[in-house]
Amino acid sequence: MAPMPSSRRGQRAVAGFAFVLSCVFVSACAAAGRTDLRLSNEVSVSDTVLPATPAAVWSVLPSVFEFLEIEAPAVDGESRTIGNPGFRAPSQIARRPLSTYLQCGNSLGGQNADRYEVRLQLAVEVVAAPAGGSLVRTFIDADARPRGVSGDTVRCTSTGALERLIVELVTDRLPG
């Protein structure tokens, strides 16, 4: 099932969840000896309903992050939220260039997502869907800056491909 489009209700959910997400990320950063946190109003949010219990979906999410080779230091079993509050993204995720997942603009050498140093924040939350099953909500926030030279940081937006890949990997790992 394709992610549901954002709505005004979804935007309110983002604002409310930003607080929960910040608490999880601040806890993870504090545990790692860091206390920096960057929130923005440009977070990409994708919702997908899966026909599985939240417990079943939650149980496979760590293996999805492991497959993607994304460390997940922020794990909260109570809120069923897992993620990384900010990491330098590798040049590829799942053997695909970052420009598959992020649009950070273009420059003379090509797409900035593939050439710049990208800092990515990723979180996935699992809740019970109102009509049954699970709602998998993925949050992505990213920016990029030129490697090895001074330059302005550029905002990145999600293409939706990473969110779809996460849901596909979750679905593939669900029992039955």
- Can you say whether the dihedral through the CA atoms of 67, 70, 71, 77 is positive or negative? negative
**Residue whose pair of structure tokens reads 């550029």 in the numeric block:** 154
Give per-10-residue mean pLDDT for the chain (176 aa): 38 42 44 40 88 97 97 96 95 96 91 95 97 97 90 94 98 92
pLDDT, residue 25, reads 46
pLDDT (0 to 100) of residue 50: 97
pTM of the model: 0.77
Structural domains of the chain sorted by starting position, each given as residue range(s) with its CATH number in brackets: 8-173 (3.30.530.20)
> What residue ranges in the chain does DSSP mark as E strands?
44-50, 74-76, 81-88, 92-93, 96-97, 102-103, 106-107, 110-111, 117-128, 134-145, 154-158
Quick one: pLDDT at residue 34?
36
